[in-house]
Structure 1
Amino acid sequence: MSFKAQLKVIDGIKKDKPDYFMLYLNAFINEIERANKKYETAREYDRDTLTKLIWTGVKTISVSEQTNDEKVLLESRLPLLTFINGLMALLTPKEFEKIFPIDKEFNGDKWGMKDYYYTRRYIEEFGENRVIGDEIEEYLWEYQNHTIRFYMVKTLKIMSNIRRLETGKGIMEEFLEEQGVPTYTMHEDLDNKQYIENNQTGEISEVKKPRPRYLRVVKNENKKIML
């Protein structure tokens, strides 16, 4: 007795990607509303409230996507960033590490990068039971944790985009120009050809893409043929 399987391909059900920004933002707003009913100022927050607000606030910024460069929208993020940084400034490094553990990366010396040992030495010199306070921005840049890293990158991007809308140049562009390093802008025409423009001199150069290794030139009497 033979058996023949009858198989049929059907389309799977596509699931919408979760909007993590809205999820974290809503959680952050809910925590703020609960805290406002219980406390007059942020300095009165208990450690559990402080931890929840810092975690949801940092995650809100770190997963945010900036697709709109309107100045009003960008500037609306500044009070939020100031508030979140102010909350983190109330912590000691020991308390901060409980929320954002140091990344377990140990080969930083080999590559000339910050790692677990670098952060640990920094905390020891800073004082693990000392309130971070006004040194919060420096502390965040020195601290090695992937969530904090995303948070700081997004913060810098917000500030840079605001600067670009005001002056026509972002923070990094201004820094590179001060160092005498030219910057370039990539353009693409209607024929999908790419070219770059030197932002300092206005010089334009065509982008020449490298030929794939699997292609070789075969010479003909009249023309070259790519195989």
Structure 2
Amino acid sequence: MDKETMVLLLKHIKEGRYVTDTYCDVQKLLTNAGMKLYAKPCCDRIEAAGLVDGIHISHLYPSLGNLQMDASGMKACEKILKAYLQPECLEPLQETLQKYHTWNTAVNNTLYLLRKADAKELKAGDLKILECQIKTEDEADALVLLKTELKYRRFPFRLYRTMKRIAFVSQMLVWFRGPVRLLVPLIKEAWKDWSGDSDTSDNEGGGHYGKALKRFLKAHGGIEGIEKLHGDDLIKYVYMAVKTYGKENRAEVNHCGTKSCMEVERRYTTIKTAMEAIGRLTPKQLMHMYPITKEYDGERWGSKDYFYTMKSLKKWSEDKPIGDAQDVACLLWDYQNWDLTFMLLQWQNVIGDLYIYCNNKEPQNEFYERYEQRVAQES
């Protein structure tokens, strides 16, 4: 392990923080390219295109006319930026930002796995915590990381982290010049932002259904209000969630490479919430919302078809709620409807990512065990 990465890991273990991603200042970018006069028009075009999401592309405080963006944000704004910058100026910066993002993700995944590890495993020096092949020459460094994580879980160091976080929030309040009604939301966001694990993923996406879902959640108390939905509101949420997290987000199923454990965990929580909402419906309601695909030649081709689905549904009580997220996944496994198939693929994808990247085997194992139990009961 190189010295720079080791020092960075030890620092962030001590402070209880994650490494923040690198952002590019649009005004500085255009100024360095000799296009300073076009900085504001460029930012205005990005704003007008609806690309400012406050996550990957956001206003640079205190100059609200300027924007900052990470690697994902720069990719989203690529067409607009190409109107002001030559390829030889833009492409190397994109490549550098992406490389740093990949490295940053790998570092944060290490921090994530250390923080999720059990104290007994840390004390025993179990390198399997890090879920990767540790080179012989890196074993000593890896053991130092485990011991350091264990050390900074003690009360005096937790108190130190809390004081650092309070100081950070206080600094944000000193800079704040907005209305008093925004103080509480500011304090909450600053408290979360300090650790560097605040939500950086656009869970609802930028598609038509994703935007509609954002408006719906905003009007119904956000994520916390989903559990209180019932009747038509529950059906509306399920319909938009299945479209948003399933079909509109199908590229995620084929997304390979280094994935952030924090984003995988957030995606799991989001999709699980949607699956649990489906579970509050009855199979009869589900069939009404998502008619079974009219394909009848499954026996000929050895595949699941309309008759197979109808036979499987007879094993479920049609007037009782389906159950939890895993019960929904078991039902969808035998249900032929493309919208629900995409939703099931997202569920399988995210529990697979939890297994591979986040060392969390429980959801995937539970799904297969639950389905096997149902098959055994039926036979």
Give the TM-score, by structure 2 length.
0.36
- The correspondence of residues 91-106 of structure 1 with structure 2, limited to 5 A, is 91-106=281-296
Residue 32 (str. 1) matches residue 223 (str. 2) = no
Structure whose alpha-carbon radius of gyration is higher: 1
8 Å Cα contact 1:140/1:152 also seen in 2:
yes
In 1, the alpha carbon distance for the partners of 2:293 and 2:277 equals 22
Partner of 1:118: 308
Of 349, 353, 361, the residue aligned with 1:157 is 349
Task: Give the fraction of aligned pairs with identical amino acids, expressed as a percent.
Answer: 25
Residue 74 (structure 1) aligned with residue 264 (structure 2): yes
More strand as a share of residues: 1
Structure with the bigger percentage of helix: 2
Partner of 2:82: none
Question: After TM superposition, which residue ranges in structure 1, 4 or more long, deviate above 4 angstroms?
Answer: 40-44
Per-residue deviation at 1:33?
A: 2.1
2:315 match: secondary structure: helix
Q: How do 1:6-45 and structure 2 match up within 5 A?
A: 21-23=205-207, 24-36=209-221, 42=226, 44-45=228-229
Shift of 1:112: 1.7
Q: Give the counterpart letter for 1:28 in structure 2.
A: L
How far is the alpha carbon of 1:107 from its aligned partner?
Answer: 0.8
**Partner of 2:66 in structure 1?**
none
Deviation at 1:166, TM superposition (A): 4.0
Cα distance between partner residues in 1 of 2:354 and 2:322: 27
SS of the equivalent of 1:80 reads: helix
Pair 1:59 & 2:243 matched: yes
CA apart distance, 1:165: 2.2
RMSD between aligned residues: 2.9
CA contact (8 A) 1:140 1:148 kept: yes
Cα deviation, 1:64-83, whole Å, max 9, x if unaligned, reads: 13347222222210111111
For the 8 Å contact 1:71–1:165, the answer to whether it is kept is yes
Following superposition, the deviation at residue 87 of structure 1 comes to 0.6
1:43–1:90 contact (8 Å) kept in structure 2: no
What TM-score do the two structures reach when normalised by structure 1? Answer: 0.58
More deviation, 69-78/43-52: 43-52
**Quick check: 1:35–1:49 contact (8 Å CA) kept in 2?**
no
For 1:115, the aligned partner's letter is: D
Unmatched runs of 5 consecutive residues or more in structure 1: 1-15, 176-227
